[in-house]
């Protein structure tokens, strides 16, 4: 018999509390969330994310009282994304590769990066005749012959965009030290020439985060609506995330983003009946 107060007696109460908590939103079943769960399971120490003391929504990773799940768009696109994530990247609340999987769950794959032991499913995906893989990278000093700014996808194939998800030095390391990517064309995105560029929250230099790169790539691939939907989802996430760090609600900017996201929402989705709106 477990004695009073032991884990065995507390756990059911905790589960009950979570199930009934108004903060709980269903965590989307997609590649990045599955990778995060697995990555956590193999950690020998708890992951201490920046801002880790803030109670967060498990689904959108924003602080619970500013959860954005009800505004998550559902998008359609004929292209695919393959995220190569650096080590603890899937566990970071600030990670934006997750936002791509949020809106295109059936078209997004995610793997932890390894120089010498890439996941067999990653290698199979790269060989899959349905897809034409492109490594998305700003520029390549290593192999300028591989650079392209437009998609030349063979008939019967669809573009698969490989995104290197980590800090800038980590992305460069993944680009330079992944032999299994060396034969693939490199798509160089020029965001300043795209319409989605004007949607950026805080333009600085030419460094985009992973979700913004994906939004640009969607536009290059002729999927401008999906690119816009992803950019708006990123903007809402980013705005609330940054606001959370200074504890100041973004206000009018948030209402504008909600308005812009309305056409991308699925009105039939469960759990959205109580969507709190500031549109009125």
| 57 is an interface residue for Zn ion by CB under 5 A | yes
Q: Record the tokens describing residue 69, joined without a space.
A: 């799940």
Region of 43-51, 53-61, 146-154, 224-232 interacting with Zn ion (CB under 5 A) = 53-61
* Vertex 255: Cα angle to 254 and 257 (nearest 5): 65
Region of 20-28, 87-95, 155-163, 234-242 interacting with Zn ion (CB under 5 A) = 20-28
**Widest pairwise Cα distance in the chain:** 69
Between 238 and 267, how does the x/- string for binding to Zn ion read (CB under 5 A)? Answer: ------------------------------
Q: Which candidate, 56, 78, 80, 77, places its Cα nearest to that of 68? A: 56
Shortest separation between residue 11's beta carbon and Zn ion, angstroms: 24
- Count of chain residues binding Zn ion (CB under 5 A): 6
Phi and psi (nearest 5°) for 111?
-140, 150
Q: Rounded CA gap, 146 and 183, in Å?
A: 8
Of 137 and 237, the one with the shorter C-beta distance to Zn ion is 237
| 92 is an interface residue for Zn ion by CB under 5 A | no
Of positions 59, 186, 199, 214, contacts Zn ion by CB under 5 A: 59
| 25 is an interface residue for Zn ion by CB under 5 A | yes
| 232 is an interface residue for Zn ion by CB under 5 A | no
Place of tokens 């965590």: 27
Of 60 and 216, the one with the shorter C-beta distance to Zn ion is 60
Alpha-carbon distance values, 259 to 96, 234, 263, 277 (Å): 22, 14, 8, 9
Shortest separation between residue 60's beta carbon and Zn ion, angstroms: 3
Shortest separation between residue 253's beta carbon and Zn ion, angstroms: 18
Region of 8-16, 18-26, 88-96, 233-241 interacting with Zn ion (CB under 5 A) = 18-26
Shortest separation between residue 70's beta carbon and Zn ion, angstroms: 8
Region of 68-76, 81-89, 138-146, 236-244 interacting with Zn ion (CB under 5 A) = 68-76
Of 79 and 99, the one with the shorter C-beta distance to Zn ion is 99
| 99 is an interface residue for Zn ion by CB under 5 A | no
Interface ranges with Zn ion (CB under 5 A): 25, 57, 59-60, 67, 69
């Amino acid at each position: 018999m477990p004695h009073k107060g032991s884990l065995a007696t507390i756990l059911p109460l905790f589960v009950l509390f979570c199930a009934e908590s108004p903060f709980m939103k269903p965590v989307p079943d997609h590649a990045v969330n599955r990778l995060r769960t697995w990555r956590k399971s193999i950690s020998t120490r708890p992951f201490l994310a920046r801002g880790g003391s803030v109670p967060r929504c498990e689904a959108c990773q924003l602080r619970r009282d500013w959860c954005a799940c009800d505004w998550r768009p559902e998008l359609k696109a004929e292209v695919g994304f393959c995220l190569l994530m650096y080590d603890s990247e899937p566990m970071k609340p600030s990670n934006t590769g997750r936002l791509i999987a949020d809106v295109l769950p059936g078209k997004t794959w995610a793997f932890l990066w390894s120089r010498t032991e890439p996941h067999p499913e990653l290698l199979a995906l790269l060989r899959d005749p349905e897809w034409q893989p492109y490594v998305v990278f700003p520029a390549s000093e290593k192999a300028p012959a591989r650079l392209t700014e437009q998609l030349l996808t063979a008939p019967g194939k669809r573009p698969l965009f490989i995104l290197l998800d980590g800090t800038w030095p980590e992305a460069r390391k993944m680009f330079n030290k992944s032999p299994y990517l060396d034969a693939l064309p490199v798509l160089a995105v020029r965001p300043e020439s795209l319409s989605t560029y004007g949607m950026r929250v805080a333009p600085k230099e030419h460094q985009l985060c992973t979700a913004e790169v994906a939004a640009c790539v969607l536009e290059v691939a002729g999927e401008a609506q999906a690119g816009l939907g992803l950019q708006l989802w990123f903007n809402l996430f980013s705005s609330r995330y940054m606001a959370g760090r200074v504890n100041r609600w973004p206000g009018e900017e948030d209402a504008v983003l909600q308005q812009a996201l309305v056409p991308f929402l699925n009105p039939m989705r469960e759990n959205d009946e109580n969507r709190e709106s500031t549109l009125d």
